[in-house]
Structure formats: C-alpha cells, structure tokens
Copies of this chain bind each other. A is one copy, B any other.
Amino acid sequence: MKQYLSENSEKILEELFTILRVPSISADSSCKNEVNLCAEAVAKLLEKAGMDKTEVIRTAGHPVVYSEKIVDLKLPTVLVYGHYDVQPVDPLNLWETPPFEPVIRDDQIFARGASDDKGQLFIQIKSIAYMLHKDMLPCNVKFIAEGEEEVGSINLGKFLRDHKDRLAADIVLVSDTGMISLEAPSIMIGLRGLSYVEIEMTGPNRDLHSGLYGGAVANPAQVLCSIIASLIDENGKVTIPGFYDDVQELPDSLRSQLAQAPFDLELYKQKLDLREVAGEKGYSVMERVGIRPSLDVNGLWSGYIGEGAKTVLPAKAAAKVSMRLVPNQSSEKITESFIDHITAIAPKTVRLKTIVHHGGEPWCIQTDVSAYIAASQAVKEVFGKEPVPVRGGGSIPIVALFEAELGLKTILLGFGLDSDAIHSPNEHFGVSNLFKGIETVPLFYKYFAESQ
C-alpha cells in the first residue's frame, strides 16, 4: 500500500485538486453552477475508481452524488457519506493564496475544502479505488456525497427517506472530523448539535442623523448589544430559560476518561494568540467544547461600516446567533426557547424579526460496538497507537439523520487536525493526513468485514 501511494502520489494529489478547484460554496446562491460542476467532478472520480451505477441525483437544493459496488450480497455493506460543498471564503484578503487554487506549502494542501470535506471525501474514494484495483474490497459499498452539508443538509432527510431501500447498509462511514494529532490519534464518539437563528431589530423607519435624534430615539444597535450581552451570565452560562434542562450531565468517571486526551493549555492559547481562554465556570477547555453547550455570535451588523465616520443612528441592527447543543438537547426545542426569550426581553422601542437557519441534533456512540472496534484497530495499525475516544465540539447533523432515517450507526473516521483552519482563511490539510487516511480506510473495511 505504502509503495502504491508513493509511486502514485503526484497523480493522486492532482486528482484531489480537480475537485478543490471548484468553488462549490453551498451558502452562496451565485455559486449554484459551480456546486453542480463539483457534483459532476466527484461522480467522475467515483466512476474512475471502478464504482457502478454512479449518478448525480437532483434534490430541491444541491444534488447528491450516488454510487455503489455490490461485491456479494452476503458481505456486509458500508454506506460512505461525505460532502463536496464548502464554506464561504470571506474574508478573502486574509488568504495567502486564492482559496480555489490549491497549492502545497510545507507539506500542507492549501485550499477551501482541503480538509472540510473534499480532502477527506477523497480519502474514501481513493481507498475504494485502491481496494477495487487490487481486487480486495471485502464489503459492498454504497456512496453518497451531498452538496448541502455547510447549509444544514436541508434536503438530505428527504433523500434518505426517498431512497431508504437502496441505501440499506450495516454501518455508515464518514471522514469529516479530526484527530488530536498524527502522534495522538483519536476517534470522535460524540458531536454537538446546532441551533442557528438570525435576529433583526428595527427602530426608526429610516436611518437618522445621530445629532438630531441621538439621545431621544432608541438605537437598535445598542438594543441588540444589550440583548446579546444578556445571553451569557458572569459564570459563562447561557441565560435562556430551560437551556440546560435536557443537558446530559456526565458522571465523573466518564469525565476522567475523556480528560485523558492530551491537551496543552499554553500551546492552545499560543496557537490562537490569546492571553486568556473563556467559558463556562467549572469545566475544562475540552469539556467546554465537547460535553457542554455554548452560544456564539457568528455575525453582527448595523449602520455605517465603511471607511471614515458617518453620524447615523441606524434604523436596523442584526445578528446571526448559533448555539451548539449536547445530548439530550433538542435543536427544535432550543431554537424555540431562544426565540421566545429574545421576544420576551426585546424592548418596545424596537421591532423584532427572527429567521431560523439550519439546525442539527447532538449525537454520541458507544466504544464497544464492532464497527468502532474495527476503526480503532485500523487506526492503531497505521498510526502505531490506540486512538483516544473524544467528544467533539462541531456538528455533523447528518449523523443523527442516519440514525433516525436509516437506523444506522455512524463511524467518524476523521483525519483532519484542529490546526487545519476549516471554515477560516488558509484552510489546509496535511499531505501525510491524506495518505495515512488512504492507508487506514481499507483496514477498517477488512476488520469490519471480519467482525461481521
């Protein structure tokens, strides 16, 4: 395997670059055509890998790429999932090289989507290509790649329901997460859910001169700031009534187990150039992102944001606010509580409008199921160390969807790193991570097939 990879490394990277070059930003409606082109490019890679019945299936939004290889109906079936859409790229001026012109610097592939998720999706495709090339695929494979993960997989639930029979499988395999480091491999066993709401406040019916009206008319930017400021208390707790009602409190024993994952606070602060971390009192940094819910402002705007000074009392102010959820919080319930709370505390001086964006349920898996054990063995063989189980802070809403719609467990066999800068300027993915990933996945198939 190692020999195959080193002999073909340039060709493999060039294949990955063909999809990294396509600006498939699902949130940006002006990129609709590029998202479609990316789906076609992924389909082409799957066909080239030797998969059958590859098709680009329309949905109400961006299409899903489907493909399969049925080796023998008696063998277990792995349903691979990935996404070919990417996050927006702004602020564009902070990118050192253009986000859709992939380059390798210091053994890192720089491009939007290099790690999240095109690079990792490609690990799955290339692993299948290798196993088919060597005629050693020990499971049947079904493969779906969606184009709406970054906008909440809005149409995936319907897709899964519509194709339930065709998607029948024994396990879902996803590479869309990270590990602690190449030296401290880990496997994600829990993910946070998401609730995402945009709030807009309107004060006066037009922008006003701040001299003529300032002091007599409530400023919606200041009203919004007061409301946002009130959402977190002095102990770092979210103040929305009922917010913590369904939060699963972990026993000390489990907290100790999770605490075994290596973590260096000074290095963490240094890498982010922070003088101090913040967060909920009584929890460690890793717990704050792994087992505790949080609330963040993702966007904020009001008034004049151009060059120089404009003396305006803005008519409107708005914010995008998202909450990360943990088991057993419900995305829908939290979204509702959030809107109820904002509505209750907004003063009569402004009018409130809320827009609900996508959400997702929190998720976790046990470490004693056969698929987890197979993944753990595969990682150990390639990385030389048994992986640590960790609970991650991000959200992959589809994991809960697979459980709900198809009744399937998911293995998150991720090869990214925290430092990959996903969702940020200069996203990158290690060339080593890519190749170690391609080494690991076939071993998962092998051990999983053996365990069935």
Contact = CB atoms under 8 A, between A and B. Distances in A.
Contacts of A297: 219, 221-222, 225, 302-303, 314
Contact of A278 (B151, B349, B418): B349
Copies in the complex: 2
Contacts of A203: 274
A211 B192 contact: yes
Interface string A293-322: 111111111111111111111100101101
A34 to B, nearest CB: 15
A279 B215 contact: yes
Contact of A289 (B216, B272, B286): B216
A222 B306 contact: no
Contacts of A192: 211
| Size range of the chain A interface in the assembly | 35 or more
Interface in A78-117: 87-88, 90-91, 94
Given A207-B424, A229-B225, A348-B276, A303 B300 contact: yes
Interface stretch (A159-167, A367-375, A388-396, A434-442): A388-396
Given A228-B225, A309-B357, A349-B275, A424 B208 contact: yes
B308 A225 contact: no
A41 B297 CA distance: 48
Interface in A330-382: 347-349, 351, 357-358
A222 B358 CA distance: 22
Interface of A: 27-29, 87-88, 90-91, 94, 151-152, 192, 194, 196, 198, 203-219, 221-222, 224-226, 228-232, 272-280, 285-286, 288-289, 292-314, 317, 319-320, 322, 324, 347-349, 351, 357-358, 392-395, 418, 421-426
